Amino acid sequence: MAAVEATVGALDPVDRTLKIENTEKRDTLIAIEKRYQQKWAEERVFETDAPSTEEVPFNAVSADELRSKHPKFFGTMAYPYMNGSLHVGHGFTYSKIEFAAGVARMQGLRTNLPLGYHCTGMPINSAADKIAREVEMFGKNFERCPVNDLANGISETGLPAPTQEITKTDVTKFSATKGKAAAKTVKMKYQFQIMLSIGIPLEEIHLFAEPMKWLQHFPPICKQDLTGFGARIDWRRSMVTTDANLFYDAFVRWQMVRLKEAGKIRFGKRYTVYSPKDGQACMDHDRSQGEGVGVQEYTALKIAVKEWPESAQKSVSQLPKDARCFFVAATLRPETVYGQLCCFVGPSIRYGIYKVSNGEYYVLSERAARNMSFQGVTAWGEVEKIVDVLGSDLVGAVVAPPLSANPEVRILPMESVKASKGTGIVMCVPSDSPDDYVTLRDLAKKADYYGIRKEWADLEIIPIIETPTYGNLTAKAIVEQMKINSPKDAKQLAEAKDLAYKEGFYRGVMIYGPYKGKTVEEAKPLVRAQLLEAGEALAYAETDGVVVSRSGDECVAAHLDQWYMAYGKKESPEWQQEVLSYVTDGEFNSYSADTKNALEANLDWLGQW
């Protein structure tokens, strides 16, 4: 029981409670508040019903006349999630609708303010699974949990000693400071500790291994807290979500059926954030990290290897002699492939050469290979790495980029390439990418320093896109205008990249290749389609940031069969315009210009739901 006792000790607020004296006025106000809250409950003040047939006989008046004679107000908030007690954020959100309902009541409106308890999704299920595992590991009351798993050092203040990696107090650590005695800092590592911290008695924690227990335990606490807040809620209408509530479940099913019948819901493959461990899509509420992170789609160019450098010979000797190898570069700008002058790798990145279908082998980062295994490139979830190779050993390889004006180019080093972004391989188009232009210029100036031949980098730039502001060498013009001198000027380069992309995409016109004369916006999907059809590229996607599920699994972008709402300019522009018109036509009251502007922007931007 040592681990349990250590956790309880760390949570013990002894000697840290602020003592307030002379609280008679406060206590009087609290007593008045409780008395009237009790009176409201007894008289059922906030229980509001629709007009009865005695008040208004059936079909006696039209719907408009009924609303005019008995005006009403209905409001609620996003249902709070039932994996713990409410926090101050819930109070802040609830206060908005609470005050609006109070005003409506004073205006004489029939005011209906219900509240639901959100129980859907992975958070409750994952937490219940953790409790089940911990009971199995440590016993019903977690008596076998080793205390050494929890201790993180000793200090007089109870805080961990500072290190170079941690510059502020770790919020997952709780410490007890009892008098002057040194206290151990305890890491909240296990779910049972979290349950103790929110007031669940030790002897009851094992019961929460059953998800239904959460649905039974936390809603009454939510009701108690909001009642104490003075909430004007009609508690008769409260309910849990999930199929534990057959009525609510039927309501949601009815909605889905109606939307499907109207052609608003469709079935097909699309990219989504996916947890291989859980075997399902990982939505925002299912995540312990990465809320709001979506999927970014790329065009992944297959850049064929023509000749390996001497430094890579030992590694590639493990490949079959007839292996067809490709550096796979992910790009958001397929329309610029004509201007490739080289291909970049991160010299300090350890790449893998992976076997894929049809006897092909891809050079890319481990993260990209894992993503591709859930996108139909290999068998589902299977990654077969043949050999590791350091990026610096790949420098000098001769490769053939598809559609490039240069049939053969070299692999060159770029310090800013990240293994966590794209595939870790970057195509170089210095005409339109400020990063590429500055890096290539630096490589040509310091060829000996980078261990390359100057002629590999000192190349003539090919203009491919004309823009009204920067001419036909957008990257060069922006770099010179902003006086960017080095690849290390990261902040300026990020700004330059943004300027170049917007100028090229929205105002650029192609001046090279089969789509010469078309706008970049028109040419981009055409070039992508051409590359995919010819087998010179593949569709690739990844999470636009790290996403970790509540089960502790780092998620991938998977290409899955799933149901989705066909909303957006491509799928159903009429529906999108109808929704937008509802917000913009003047009848919709957002109570805030900021809210209305945000809704308009998101409704215009959203594609498939």
Residue 579, pLDDT above cutoff 70: yes
Every domain range in the chain assigned CATH 3.90.740.10: 295-545
29-69 pLDDT, tens digit each: 999 999 999 999 999 999 999 999 988 998 889 999 999 99
Q: What is the mean pLDDT of residues 519-525?
A: 96
Write down the pLDDT at residue 162. 32
- The model's confidence at residue 156, banded by pLDDT at 50, 70 and 90, is very low
Write down the pLDDT at residue 157. 33
193-207 pLDDT, tens digit each: 999 999 999 999 999
Given the DSSP bridges, would you call strands 72-74 and 342-345 parallel, antiparallel or unpaired?
Answer: unpaired
Residue 590, pLDDT above cutoff 70: yes
Which percentage of the chain shows pLDDT scores above 70?
Answer: 91
Contact between 500 and 478 (Cβ < 8 Å): yes
Q: What is the mean pLDDT of residues 332-355?
A: 97
Which amino acid, 74? F
Residue 520, pLDDT above cutoff 90: yes
Prediction pTM value: 0.75
Write down the pLDDT at residue 163. 30
Look-up of token digits 């819930």: 90
445-490 pLDDT, tens digit each: 999 999 999 999 999 999 999 999 999 999 999 999 999 999 999 9
Alpha helices in 12-62 (DSSP H): 24-43
From CA 400, how far away is CA 388, in angstroms rounded? 22
Residue 302, pLDDT above cutoff 70: yes
Q: What is the CATH number of domain 295-545?
A: 3.90.740.10
Write down the pLDDT at residue 592. 81
Residue 89 structure tokens? 């954020």
Which amino acid, 603? L
Write down the pLDDT at residue 180. 31
Residue 234 structure tokens? 């009609």
Residue 304, pLDDT above cutoff 70: yes
219-253 pLDDT, tens digit each: 999 999 999 888 999 999 999 998 999 999 999 99
SS (H, E, C) 255-296: HHHHHHHCCCEEEEEEEEEEECCCCEECCHHHEEECCCCCEE
From CA 485, how far away is CA 504, in angstroms rounded? 22
Within 123-170, strands assigned E span 151-155
Residue 182, pLDDT above cutoff 50: no
Choice among 61-75, 310-324, 560-574 with the minimum mean pLDDT:
560-574
Write down the pLDDT at residue 151. 54
- The model's confidence at residue 176, banded by pLDDT at 50, 70 and 90, is very low
Mean pLDDT, the chain, integer: 89
65-80 pLDDT, tens digit each: 999 999 999 999 999 9
Which percentage of the chain shows pLDDT scores above 90?
Answer: 71
The more confidently predicted of residues 306 and 151 is: 306
Contact between 549 and 364 (Cβ < 8 Å): no
